[in-house]
Structure 1
Amino acid sequence: MTLTIAATDPAALRERCDVTTVRTLRGAPGYEDRAVVPVDAWTKVTEDMARDLTDTSQTPDSALVELVQQPAFTGALKALADGLRDPDAVYIGQAHAPADILTTTSNHENGGRRIGLHVDNWDRLPYATRHTGRRRLCLNLGPGSRYLLLGDLDIRAMCRTIHQDFALRYPHTDDLRQYIASGHLMLCFRLRLEPGEGYLAPTELLPHDGSTEGEPQPSTAAFWLGTWQRGVLPSLV
């Protein structure tokens, strides 16, 4: 599967979406070796790109990216998703990102080195069912803006390319790193999220990360995992 974003207003999507390619880091301070990060050459997506990104007719809800508005809620933040039609949704916490960093996710098991673009593994699904995993709901709590970074190709396609026994595997960030280090190409899209905005995305399937690159203020994001139908929250685009 390729990256697909739910949108009825391609112009609104283009206004908040940039694209570039990716590169592999080796020996970069503060990063894991072989981490995959965006190349610093962002350009606005074209009309044709926006059209391709928003062709959702064949995309199951579990593989769809949605840019969403934070719902109104009262009470504890972790209960925000209780009314979104998945009684089994879980709150998985918050993450603070300093201002102006290329990617946000760090590995606390190796001194906090950043991991770059990656795939999550909360559901630990094998290749055959990887596309059925839960989606992540992320809301930007501010005070600054942030970006969602997304690769244009899912991790199953990468496994098929680099492994003969792909059907027996549990796709992992290491597969993304091997795919890029082997010379294969991947586009990276950057989607701007203001405070009070967020996304629903298949982060077990698509390479992704957060970013505050170029932003003068830090931001904090809150996260949930659930099985949500498309349209459960108001769309930004």
Structure 2
Amino acid sequence: MTLSIAATDITALRERCGVAVLRTVRADPAYENGAVLPTGPWTSITDDTAQDLVASSPIGDSTLVELVKPPVPAEALSSLIQRLGDPEAIHLGQARAPMDVLTTTRNHENDGYRIGLHVDNWDRLPYATKHTGRRRICINLGPGTRYLLLADLDIRTICRALYQDYADRYPHTDDLRRYVGSGHTVLCYRIRLEPGEGYIAPTELFPHDGSTEGLLEPSTAAFWLGHWPRGVLPSLI
């Protein structure tokens, strides 16, 4: 499965999106060994690439990426999200990212090393149902801009390419690291999110992370996890 983004304005998608290639890192003092990171420079996407990214045929809501802007101020987000169609949605908390970091997520159980692009595992789903996991809402609370990083391949596709017994596995970030480390090409899209903007994305399925690379202000992101139908928040694009 390739990345699918809900959009009606190709120009708006191109304006906020760049692309690079993923690589693995070794012996970097800030990162876990084997972490997967984008290799610059970032380049603009073409009309054809933007069109390929747009979800052009019906796909399950659980596999769709949406770029959104909530119609309420930040202090009203929690009450809004509880009304979006999943009464069991959970608030995952907030995470502050300093300015100018290539990726934002740290492993606080491993001396705080950054982990690079990764897949979430809140739902602990096996290969057969990994694509049905909950999606994550992330809203940039500012003060600075931030980026969403997304790989162009889902973790099931990667797992299937690596193993003969893929159907018996639980797809994991380690599979992404093995795939990229063995020389396979995976693209990474970088999507700009201004304060007050955000995304709904299948972070259990697609490798991802946040970034503030080249930005001069820190930003804080707020996160929720749930089963949401498409279109529950106004689209940016």
> Which of 82-91 and 199-208 deviates more?
82-91
Secondary structure of 1:142's aligned partner: strand
Secondary structure of 2:48's aligned partner: helix
Moved over 3 A (4+): 73-80
- Whether 1:61 aligns to 2:71 is no
1:24 is matched by which residue type in structure 2?
Answer: T
Secondary structure of 1:94's aligned partner: strand
CA contact (8 A) 1:65 1:199 kept: yes
Secondary structure of 1:234's aligned partner: coil
- Whether 1:112 aligns to 2:122 is no
Aligned to 2:152: 152
Q: Distance in 2 between matches of 1:65 and 1:43?
A: 21
**Identity fraction in percent:** 67
Aligned to 2:209: 209
2:23 is matched by which residue type in structure 1?
Answer: R
1:208 is matched by which residue type in structure 2?
Answer: H
Shift of 1:15: 0.2
Shift of 1:86: 1.3
Q: Distance in 2 between matches of 1:231 and 1:209?
A: 23
Secondary structure of 1:67's aligned partner: strand
Give deviations 1:64-115, integer Å, cap 9, x for gaps.
0000002315866543411212111110100000000000000001110000
CA contact (8 A) 2:74 2:141 kept: no
RMSD between aligned alpha carbons?
1.2
Aligned to 1:223: 223
Shift of 1:180: 0.4
1:129 is matched by which residue type in structure 2?
Answer: T
Aligned to 1:42: 42
Secondary structure of 1:28's aligned partner: coil
Structure 1 alignment gaps of length 5 or more: none
Q: Distance in 2 between matches of 1:222 and 1:60?
A: 25
- Whether 1:131 aligns to 2:114 is no
Give deviations 1:161-184, integer Å, cap 9, x for gaps.
011110000000000000001111
CA contact (8 A) 1:5 1:56 kept: no
CA contact (8 A) 2:18 2:42 kept: yes
CA contact (8 A) 2:136 2:226 kept: yes
